[in-house]
Amino acid sequence: MFHKEGQQIILVSFFVACALALGAEFYIEPQWLRIGLQVVVVILLILILQFFRNPKRTVVPSFDEILAPVDGKVVVIERTEEKEYFKDERLQISIFMSPLNVHVCRYPATGVITYSKYHPGKYLVAWHPKSSEENERTTVVIRTPKFGEILYRQVAGAMARRIVNYAEEGESVQQGEDSGFIKFGSRLDLFLPPDCLPAVRLNQKVKGAVSCIATRAENENGS
């Protein structure tokens, strides 16, 4: 199944691929060059199809866990100052998505959207230290029952040119539902309360709406 954000691109790519393959069949010689071009066209079409795939994942919402919002590799786990919304120290966990990963974004927790803002910006490579503050990005804050407010940030990479964000302030969202899409290589940053406990390690591969990213330390009375 393919994500709705890719429907137009897939349709155009399919017709272009058919036109190129048929054109090569009638107008390109020698045979090895014709076949080579047709193979390349098919491979490119397959890559586009796999990029926009949208695997369905069954989620049982949990107030006690923050789930991975995207597929990819954990590249940052650190305590840092979040400068846009909280303006204090938070636990940052960042996930890098290669062009081969599923690029569907999903809500990491159930709650109410209290902040949603788009920022135009640069297109530094997604692993650049300043990409979270200088690249094209969206910032979304969810008020959750267990964790209070958590923030996630979709960050465009060097190849990305469009971020899709479905979050609207005031709406209630469910953990695991689609929250948007980032086209091509990119990254997603999570900023969690400082008393959260990471449930992942650096370079670990995670799956959106499946892998637990963090839990919260229980206080003395167990709440």
The alpha carbon of 209 is separated from its chain's Cα centroid by a whole number of angstroms, namely 11
Instruction: Please list the alpha-helical segments (H only) found in 1-151.
Output: 7-27, 31-51, 131-134
Task: Please say if 186 is a catalytic residue.
Answer: yes
What tokens does 199 get?
Answer: 């449930």
CA dist 15 and 20 (Å) reads 9
The active-site residue out of 98, 186, 211, 223 is 186
CA dist 164 and 182 (Å) reads 6
What tokens does 112 get?
Answer: 């109410």
What tokens does 210 get?
Answer: 């499946």
Q: How many residues does the chain have?
A: 223
Interstrand relation of 148-156 and 66-67 (parallel, antiparallel or unpaired): unpaired
Q: What is the sign, positive or negative, of the torsion defined by CA atoms of 62, 171, 83, 160? A: positive
One-letter amino acid of 192: L
Query: Which residues are annotated as catalytic?
Result: 186
